[in-house]
Chain A
Amino acid sequence: MALLSIADLSVSFHTEDGAMSIVEDVSFEVGAGEIVGLVGESGCGKSVTAMSIMGLLPSDISRIDKGTIELEGKSLLDLGEAAMCKVRGDRMGMIFQEPMTSLNPTYTIGFQLIEALRLHRSLSSAEARGSVIEMLRLVGVSAPERRVDQYPHELSGGLRQRVMIAMALICRPSLLIADEPTTALDVTVQAQILELLLHLKKELGMAILLITHDLGVVAEFCERVLVMYAGRIIEQTTVEELYARPRHPYTLGLLDAMPRISSPAGKLPTIPGIVPSPGNRPDGCYFVERCAHSSARCSTKHPPLDGDPPHQFACWNPVA
């Protein structure tokens, strides 16, 4: 049984502009201890998918229209808010794109880490402080005994992201969702943070759902990839398979658009056209208007995610 399994998840937003379906029929699994990459262009619904798993969608404007989300065999969508609070931060943790603003500026990092631990474990403050210092050391924060009493504004972006990671992992969750954890950081720090995640995965054994729009990061750190386009998963497979034999024309386009050391200097090929916005998705395949391989069927019927596991793709005319 998979650690996390999502089936037919659809999420819509209801704003002044009317109802928009953002995520449609998303199904995937994450096995225990696995690192899975979720890639796609900006606005395709990666964060919304992550927030659905965490149960952190803004309740006033969004709705989960259908689907199931199971973590460790427990159906998360059936849990009440109180029960969900027990799962969040304990069985699954999350880190975000913006380390500069993700920590509360008015509390020391020690306070915030101890809180994360004591929300789920009954420990004395002294015991909790000990565990927190140990955790900070594990995520590579130097002089953690001193750092615990510092405020977020006294720390660099890279350090803050390490603190966020420590906070997400302090209860040893089985799943870590990392939503573009390095996008806001310097290139050198980016690599350090990703190396750290990999190291922690080996140390603590949790699974990671790594959200990124960088296929290079996926190639280096992930075991499996989910490719998302306009709210749907359009291809999923192992990393090796994806780079060797991409089947969906969109995936192919993404790979061609990746900068490579071997590629000749000059303009990278880009995918022509733009992503249809949530309100303006066509009837058939959402990629049809930008696709070089499209046929008549593509603009009438949506291709299902099909194929022999582990390699599945949603395309009527897959790339050979």
Chain B
Amino acid sequence: MKGLGVYVLKRIGQALLIMIGITLITFILLYLLPADPARQIAGRSATAETVENIRRQLGLHLPFYEQYLRYLSSLVQGDLGRSYIQKTEVTELILSRLPATLLLMAGAISCELLIGLPAGILAAVKRGKFADNAIMILSFVGVSAPQFVVGILLLYVFAVQFGWFPIGGYGTAAHLVLPALTLGLLGGGWYSRMMRSSMLDVLRQDYIRTARAKGAGQMRILTVHALRNAILPIIAMIGLDVGIFMSGVVVVESVFGWPGIGQLAWQAIQRVDIPIIMGVTLVAACFIVVGNFLADVIAPFVDPRIELK
């Protein structure tokens, strides 16, 4: 377990470098943005003098590198700054909304796996038959449909027409179903395709033939012998997925009025509320780092040949 400690330290070091890189890139992008936060805050009718005052207050008149170093030095003290518009601490805003987003993510990942893995396995087993073709077509639709369209469609059918689920909002398990499903359909499409090809590859292996030779039935071969080997690329994928998720979360939270950090980010982008945008970006980066870390730590437990590096 000493190895694990060193490994974790190494990964944290890497993560810090990645975070600094991400803050720098985001900062540059926001700096280059033609929109002027001071003008946004001051309002349309404000005089040039007022705008200039606000700019000085926020330190936006300083040269780029100075602004960035200021941000970085308060960041290392754990200070993400204050929202320009809401005047609240960004940390507070994010923390209050994080649970909703984490819940949505958990729901979405569950949907992805519950849809994607069985579909992929079934497609592999029924290779070339009707079920395989149907699943591949559906997964293609799932992968290529824009999420706001899927979200609105699900809302219309299951909330408006059938009335099975609330139209939006947050609070009960029923609220979670449609937004999680919207995110999960896309991921489910990806996972079913990955699972199918991974499974087909595994089913060709010699050890599957060995398992059959000892008298294991089809079900046992799939669940015990094939699944564990076939799931490895999926685990790596989930790690990456957590990052890709954040872009979907912004859309889906807005469609469903889900009070998470995606919605927070969406509002902040509209008003050029730079501290919030920076904060949410950092959280997303944390998700990616943690997701990849977890995927890397879990992999050796699934396949003992893999070592932590």
Contacts and interface: CB of A to CB of B under 8 A. Distances in A.
B211 interface: yes
Nearest to A117: B214
B215 A89 contact: yes
A180 to B, nearest CB: 13
Nearest to A111: B224
Given A105-B305, A106-B304, A86 B215 contact: yes
Contacts of A153: 304-305
14 contacts: A60-B128, A88-B214, A89-B213, A89-B216, A96-B209, A96-B210, A96-B213, A104-B211, A106-B228, A107-B228, A115-B216, A119-B215, A151-B304, A153-B305
Contacts, number: 74
A85 interface: yes
Given A96-B209, A103-B210, A119 B216 contact: yes
Interface in A47-62: 54, 56, 60
Interface in A86-129: 86-90, 93-94, 96, 98, 101-107, 115-116, 119-120
Contact of A105 (B215, B218, B303): B303
Interface residues of B, number: 23
B contact face: mostly helix, strand, loop, or mixed:
helix
Interface residues of A, number: 31
A56 B211 CA distance: 11
B205 interface: yes
Contacts of A107: 228
Interface string A14-36: 00000000000000000000000
A102 B207 contact: yes
B82 interface: no
Interface string B195-224: 000000000011101111111111000001
A261 interface: no
Contacts of A56: 209, 212-213
A188 B210 CA distance: 25
A94 B213 CA distance: 6
Contacts of A71: none
Nearest to A164: B210
Interface string B180-205: 00000000000000000000000001
A90 B213 CA distance: 10
Nearest to B302: A106
B229 interface: yes
A94 B206 CA distance: 12
B225 interface: yes
B213 A54 contact: yes
B209 A102 contact: yes
A168 interface: yes
